[in-house]
Structure 1
Amino acid sequence: MTVTVADAEQLAALLGPTARRCRRGVAGPEGVALAPLTDHHLHLHLVDEHALPPHGIAAAVDLGGDPAHFARRPKQSMPHLEYAGAFLTVPGGYPSFRSWAPAQIVEVVTNASAAPGVPGGARTSVDEMADAGASVIKIALNLAEGPVFDEATLRAVVDAAHQRGLPAVAHVEGDGMTAFALDVGVDVLAHAPFTEALDAALIERAVEAGQIWISTLAIHDQPSTAIANVAAFAAAGGRVLYGTDLGNGERPSGLLVDELRCLHEAGVAGPALIASLTDPWPRRASDAGVATFVPGPAPESAEAIPPWLGGARVVPTEELIADEY
């Protein structure tokens, strides 16, 4: 099939610069190819990882799991995995009391020591995750369900992560936790703030600091607060990434259309929605050998993109034959 330059430009305007019309194999179905899609927040020990690529997810970021297990996982496995290792928390803090959180996925930090090898020290805990191959450091700041870090210890954890060249990612929940995370230099929020409506000044500070928010909007029974916060953050220029917290609740492994619909409602729509999916964070670039393929005609509007993406699957790039124009 031959398409015009105007067709290609229209496709890019709707789906972003990675979109192209193609055929899967010489005699296969026509469709649209995109860069590989990433779920930027899931928990691999709670999901069927083998179901992720057939349902659109080529890469994932595990934000709370067993670092020893991940260190042994073959690096070329699909989906491609980046991980935080264990949650860093305080004694009695979230998620140490949750049934889905065995001891190996929780690291308790008891002091703010920046010296290496100090039992329970901030630097020691970060070093253990980094030495196990972590690409990010996950911090629990869930004041709604238990104690959280004091400022000195949290700052020591964030500083230790930065010294290892790793972004600090925080689960923030409860009044004041978003501001607390921002004040000490947390780079990424594992969930778009959902327990408090943020004012414009705080959102502007987050944008200016370059903070990233991972969406996880559809996990909430009432996502209106989170959607409103994301809408304001995105409108101010904030960087939003698609993430589902897959493993939280009974949901199928793969791309979740409900999450896409929530992002669209928050104004992360069209090319911005695709960008939230194709952003390779925390890697610098996506895998070169795979792509996303959605069979059939392209969507005709931004509103149609979420259900259309429900047909996405991961395919080797060598199987795709791009249309000429």
Structure 2
Amino acid sequence: MTESTPFDPASATIVVVTYNRSGLLTRLLESIAVMDPKPGHVVIVDNASIDDTTAVVDSFRERVGTEIVYRRLDENTGGSGGFSEGMRVAYELGSTWIWLMDDDVEVIPDGLAKMGAWAPRFKSIQGRRYDYDGSPFYWQYRIAEPLAIPIPYAPAGFDETRYKVMNSGCFEGMFIHRDIVRQIGLPDPRFFIYWDDQTYGWLASQRTTSVIVDDFVLRRTREIRQWDMGVRHLNASSDAYRYYIMRNRAIIKQYYRSAGVYRPALFAAGTALTFAKELIRLVAVERKVRGTSNLWRGLRDGGKIARDSAWQPMPPLAA
């Protein structure tokens, strides 16, 4: 869908979710301070940090070069809850474009200009990222919809168009128009962590042509333990992630049901493949076998969600 008006950087809001990582947040805010152009607002959602995050935010108010809107939550709502609240604040500020990012990235100085160059053509855009070591970071931009899992070997290269159609999303850099947010609602805080951004990106792709573009706009600032498989990497995880990886499959199932695309056998195959992948991650990346109980607990609790006949997707927003 084509925008009739040129991109105005002041119409964009950066939304950052942070939790007890003031050092990383400092690096991100320093990168925003030297951006050119800058967004109209920076919304920072603090998931009830107990470090010096509030003091860090206050120290940047006069030097970041744009308005900071700080929301400190009363409890940790996970990345899902944080991005849901951040999106709500940005939407209510009247933002035309909302750029989501975790606290463990920094912005390339002309990153907003690069994203804005695509804004007249698309309404759901993902830019590229450099990894911690400066290499291009590969993100699985397409999912196998019936299985509801990422396609790990979707081609990484770009042709002369410099974009590829995607049906997923990542809150580490999602750039989305308020028209799409209005239609699909806020990110679902019930995920807490994991699958939330993939599902939100999938929902966006049902309403517009979503794309990943060949422009580097972010750099990751946190090193994560990985298993190098040559073409791709498998990152380390945690017991909490293992639990939500399996539990939240049930929330995806409910979204699929509401959209009329749920295919029981294929979805179950995707769940089995996800379980197998987490077993491989445990052994190959984390070098241990303990932790499988969290996968089983996630499956058990997901069953309760899947059987909830009163479950509803996130509602659309008022214009």
**What range is the shorter-chain TM-score in?**
under 0.3
TM-score, reference length from structure 1:
0.26
TM-score, reference length from structure 2:
0.26
User: Greater CA radius of gyration, 1 or 2?
Assistant: 1
The structure in which a higher percent of residues are helix is 2
Work out which structure has the larger RCO, using CA pairs closer than 8 Å and 6 or more positions apart in sequence. Answer: 1
